[in-house]
A and B are shown apart, each in its own frame.
Chain A
């Protein structure tokens, strides 16, 4: 049984159709990245799944229980972060997490230890006894992640979980999600950050105008689309002439130079084509010391999809 099943889910806001018969199944032990432009219906979907919005029609099953019918039972083994939630400002992280532990039926004998464990996991130990009212957005986001993990849920629903965090915090939260995914947790997360989804998830679902445009594994998309991102590091600097020559090579879809000695190449070809590309770069006189696969060129793929949808 899939831990998350969405069937014909629709939602209207005063005539605006935010979700249009959305269907989606999230397999067990997978990490699904939920992508889409602003207003595509990502947050609406997550809000319906977490019982903060009501659907106009359709059903959404969490671990086999329809959340639109019995949210208490459906959310029993689900951890979630929706938007950047606020917490009661009068309480400390420990008091807040103890409250959630009681609501979720964690025995008081084990709650204390578990609360400390998740506080340490999100690196909030130093502020555990301070009132949340004084916290920054990033600190609140860490508490939000902690409460989502508190009861060791088997399904995590995350709405832009790294939003508001500093780069270090982002990396830490991504590491947590990746590790959870490896430990058999099922993760369904929305994000605006394409590389984040690429880094963390094994499946990608793209929505626009409330409709599902594509849903597949990263591996399968990579095979279908052939467009890979290759990271090429050079000893010398790249000049304009060389850049133009690289752009003109076969199978090249785009070239970016984030630094003077690094190229990110969107490449549409198989393994043999990749070998040919490396030889061509060397023939151009470039001293390549690193030539690595950086995953699917999601950005191009994503923008193409959205363009087609419009």
Chain B
């Protein structure tokens, strides 16, 4: 049996940064192996194909106006909210809890690595995977726009940058839930329910009560497509839109739509990102391997 002599030179531990890189690489490799990237690639390919193919069976792509490329790009935005939520759920929901519920923490935590390095490495790997998928979607939109209109609008870049910020905030919330929950499944389900039902429902209720849902993260998703309403800032939707629907000859129903503003959107996303990641880190750092 090959056993080294115990009298050996003291090995120098790698820096926290080097360990973060090592964690990021392994977590990203795990993401690749779990085929989630592939599934998302198929989803965006199908959605893109649908958005590109359906108009061809009717009136074709919008043409004849300077706004046409914007309308074209907006068609791709219908599923962006769902895509960002799915990314957050699948890349954040089980990122932290799995170390405890799957007992992999018994192998990882006894290594000379700070929980902070593990946390940051996992976060980087999740962000990298989400950015790749979201980036691919926007590349498809850009290439299609270039092919159809021979032009690119700068607002597509603005939309992409905000989508990255929004998605990062969603991922932060998913990380916080992941740090707090006991099992992987409950973390995934709760993240999904929170984004798809709770926050969306709250947003709807507040709008019905004619209150702006400004503090809610999901309310800000409108900024992503808002950028593609036309040249920014001129064409960006106003904060409040009132529509009067006639009920009879004398009365009409006033329908109020609240649109998120860019500045508030950025501020709210940053606040959600910082608060949720701080909570996730605090819980993950202190959490014990019980059971």
Contacts and interface: CB of A to CB of B under 8 A. Distances in A.
Interface of A: 13, 47, 50-54, 71-78, 80, 82-88, 90-91, 95, 99-100, 102-106, 117, 120-121, 131, 144, 147, 151-152, 154, 157, 175-176, 179-180, 183-185
A90 B29 contact: yes
Nearest to A183: B3
B207 to A, nearest CB: 43
A82 B104 CA distance: 11
Residue among B3, B7, B112 with the most chain A CB within 10 A? B112
Contacts of A152: 4, 6, 8
Given A72-B113, A176-B1, A183-B3, A105 B11 contact: yes
B229 to A, nearest CB: 43
A176 B1 CA distance: 8
Given A88-B104, A103-B19, A51 B4 contact: no
Dominant SS among interface residues on chain B: loop
B286 interface: yes
Nearest to A87: B107
14 contacts: A50-B110, A53-B290, A72-B114, A75-B110, A76-B13, A76-B112, A85-B106, A86-B104, A87-B104, A91-B33, A103-B14, A152-B4, A152-B8, A183-B5
Contact of A95 (B14, B29, B286, B288): B29
A154 B34 CA distance: 36
Contacts, number: 119
A151 B7 CA distance: 13
Contact of A53 (B2, B5, B288): B288
Interface in B1-45: 1-8, 10-14, 18-19, 22-23, 26, 29-30, 33-34
B26 A91 contact: yes
Contacts of A76: 11, 13, 112
Contacts of B135: none
B286 to A, nearest CB: 7
B33 to A, nearest CB: 4
B109 interface: yes
B189 interface: no
Contacts of A88: 26, 30, 104
Contacts of A103: 14, 19, 22-23, 111-113
B3 A75 contact: no
Contacts of B114: 71-72
A51 B11 contact: no
Residue among A74, A104, A184 with the most chain B CB within 10 A? A104
Contacts of B1: 121, 175-176, 179
A71 B112 contact: yes
Nearest to A117: B2
Contacts of A83: 103, 106
A13 B289 CA distance: 12
The 8 lowest CB-CB distance pairs between A and B, nearest first, are A85-B106, A90-B33, A50-B110, A85-B107, A52-B289, A184-B6, A102-B22, A105-B14
A248 to B, nearest CB: 47
Contacts of B18: 102, 105
